[in-house]
Structure 1
């Protein structure tokens, strides 16, 4: 394998050194071309070195990592985002299926994230992921990438009516009565969708509370606006009703 040119963009020198040491110890195929601590320095070094991989702190002294990405063309590298902040940007990144690691570092998580980024150096869908990322940062209609068997597809979160866990992945049913098979387990998406009024009403089902038409307690059924009916667990009934009331108050 050819050397993988990498740039570390981190304004905390101790964190930058920690990342550098992890790379030196675990990734002999990676060559660190530069370490930068600002937006402008990063843009200059990226244009000069044309890296394969970028390890990128979200918050820098003179801006954010998104300022860097907007000003670099073409986007011929993969990114591992790093941040100590649990804020909207983190959710936007996760929805876009782009690699991410929290600070202070769990070094095993950092190694895993770098490994994954290396595996995806030839990812043909990467521009789609970046486009989805910027949509989620800049607009009020969040999007999520679902992984199919052979392709990725972007959906507006409010298009998804409900999801069903099945062998080998999950089916997601849409407002237009279409469905999409995702090759990852339903639980992979549950954490992301919960912040958008989704609720795990049953071990096999995840519903969009904004798409619920009515609940029939005697049958333990939830009727969705599409006409689909979903089973819920009796023990989750009270939480379901409370969340439905909240979703309608804040709709």
Structure 2
């Protein structure tokens, strides 16, 4: 049996993965569930853990920041992530595997089977999983993100990043406005998506707005600096972000040409 912990800030993700593992993976023993990297460190300190199912994007510390603790405790990692990007090939090369949310049962079984064989073999040699040490560096390029999956309360909506027109902050929520006129509200703050989405394509122009430069139709300073999107929406650019926006739109226009 592999002693396993689940680390994810989303309640639905934690509970659904727990259920999938319990129902489909006999060789897994769930030793604990953590909502944050801090809680995960406590579990690692107090238990002998073989395997961690680790989310990447979490408030506070992200999943990469648990890697040193995983190394010290000889625990191996399967990443669970909402982001489909070419850089995830680095995860495949350095971690045991990664699973894209919403997690597919068959893919989960394959990943667990791989983990069981790998960990059981290397336990004999007291193997230290040093291959994880450069993982964060290998994944530092985020400009290859193609899709994200957005938790919607009942599951996940898989969205192409090119279909996102803009994102608006609503208190502790983020509202995604999509090309097909759909609107998805997510219980995460805007800053998390500002850090994840490719910065050559998306820019935060206001404390409450991120826009996709693909959908900028025009911008003017008639009533203060204002962006007009291709769907007709008008969004203000804050004064402190105006210079950055101006530089970014000029650079983007040159690249586009």
* Contact persistence 2:76–2:96 (CA under 8 A): no
- 1:45 match: none
- 1:55 match: 77
* Contact persistence 1:56–1:65 (CA under 8 A): no
* Contact persistence 1:190–1:206 (CA under 8 A): yes
Residue 245 and residue 59 in structure 1: after superposition, are their counterparts in 2 closer, same or farther (change >3 A)?
closer
Shift of 1:65: 3.6
- 2:50 match: 32
Shift of 1:189: 0.7
- 2:234 match: 229
CA RMSD of aligned residues (A): 4.1
The DSSP-based 3-state class of the residue aligned with 1:177 is coil
**Which whole-Å CA distance do the structure 1 matches of 2:145 and 2:233 have between them?**
24
Calculate the TM-score normalised by the size of structure 2: 0.52
The DSSP-based 3-state class of the residue aligned with 1:241 is helix
* Contact persistence 1:168–1:184 (CA under 8 A): yes
User: Is structure 2 residue 79 aligned with structure 1 residue 75?
Assistant: no
Identify which of 193, 202, 211 aligns with 1:198: 202
**Which whole-Å CA distance do the structure 1 matches of 2:132 and 2:177 have between them?**
33
Task: Kindly tell me the number of residue pairs found equivalent between the two proteins.
Answer: 167
Calculate the TM-score normalised by the size of structure 1: 0.53
The DSSP-based 3-state class of the residue aligned with 2:111 is coil
- 1:4 match: 3
Task: For structure 1, list consecutive stretches of 5 or more residues without a partner in the other structure.
Answer: 7-21, 34-52, 93-135
The DSSP-based 3-state class of the residue aligned with 1:227 is coil
- 2:157 match: 153
Residue 223 and residue 154 in structure 1: after superposition, are their counterparts in 2 closer, same or farther (change >3 A)?
same
* Contact persistence 2:173–2:186 (CA under 8 A): yes
